[in-house]
Chains A and B, each alone.
Chain A
Amino acid sequence: AQKITQTQPGMFVQEKEAVTLDCTYDTSDPSYGLFWYKQPSSGEMIFLIYQGSYDQQNATEGRYSLNFQKARKSANLVISASQLGDSAMYFCAMREENTGFQKLVFGTGTRLLVSP
């Protein structure tokens, strides 16, 4: 069964520094997608970045990059040059292509606090 694990309930970082949010996953489907979402205090779910299991290169979107290590089944989110507006809850999620009824499975989230 597909599973996502986020072991950091909370993280602190100073403004302008980089931070890595950890995510490990488990699946038996060779084709899957990994996603990161940001949830600010207002509650909406904001898509940040996507990595496909067959993608050869790590995904990047502006200040966000995904450190994808397939053999270790990890998909860590790296935020460079943190900003105060990055303070939010961050969720890692996975969707299998062939199994799992196309469900997006979420981790329990990491709360990031960026200090001035």
Chain B
Amino acid sequence: EAQVTQNPRYLITVTGKKLTVTCSQNMNHEYMSWYRQDPGLGLRQIYYSMNVEVTDKGDVPEGYKVSRKEKRNFPLILESPSPNQTSLYFCASSLATQVANPGRVYGYTFGSGTRLTVV
């Protein structure tokens, strides 16, 4: 089954304790991205990756790191989590537009989400 797998689904941690949220996709997608969702703000992009070893900041990158060493994996790292990073996090992947089929804009496939609480 084509999917994006995110783990864990729920996580409660303490301020300052490093954590990693894993994301893996089995669709050979070039493009991967992390979003956070907060009430009243919709989903905002944290980081994205256009391909292996190519990553860049989104709209709210402060306090986060990512890596893309393999095409299928795109982990999100919080080196020193703080309470303002309490949120619902989504990983997503997609075919790149233009490359796959010029003029066709592809949507994202989302993981199930990770609900993170930092106390």
B-contact 0/1 string along A24-60, CB 8 Å cutoff:
0000000111010100000111010010111000000
Q: Which residues of A contact B50 (CB under 8 A)?
A: 101-102
User: Do B42 and A91 touch (CB < 8 A)?
Assistant: yes
User: Do A108 and B40 touch (CB < 8 A)?
Assistant: yes
Q: State whether the Cβ of B113 lies closer than 8 Å to any Cβ in chain A.
A: yes
Q: Which residues of B contact A50 (CB under 8 A)?
A: 107
Q: Which residues of B contact A91 (CB under 8 A)?
A: 42-43
Q: Which of B35, B98, B103, B108 has the most CB of A within 10 A?
A: B108
Q: State whether the Cβ of A18 lies closer than 8 Å to any Cβ in chain B.
A: no
User: Do B107 and A104 touch (CB < 8 A)?
Assistant: yes
- Which of B33, B41, B96, B112 contacts A104, CB < 8 Å? B33
Q: State whether the Cβ of B88 lies closer than 8 Å to any Cβ in chain A.
A: yes
User: Do B41 and A95 touch (CB < 8 A)?
Assistant: no
Using a CB–CB cutoff of 8 Å, the interface residues on chain A facing chain B are 31-33, 35, 37, 43-45, 47, 50, 52-54, 91, 93, 95-98, 101-104, 106-109
Extra pairs beyond A95-B97, A103-B48, A106-B43 (20, CB < 8 Å): A33-B106, A33-B107, A35-B107, A43-B88, A43-B113, A44-B113, A45-B113, A52-B103, A53-B105, A54-B103, A95-B105, A95-B106, A96-B105, A97-B102, A97-B105, A102-B31, A102-B94, A103-B45, A104-B92, A108-B42
- 6 A–B contacts from the bound complex (CB under 8 Å): A45-B113, A53-B105, A93-B107, A95-B107, A101-B56, A104-B33
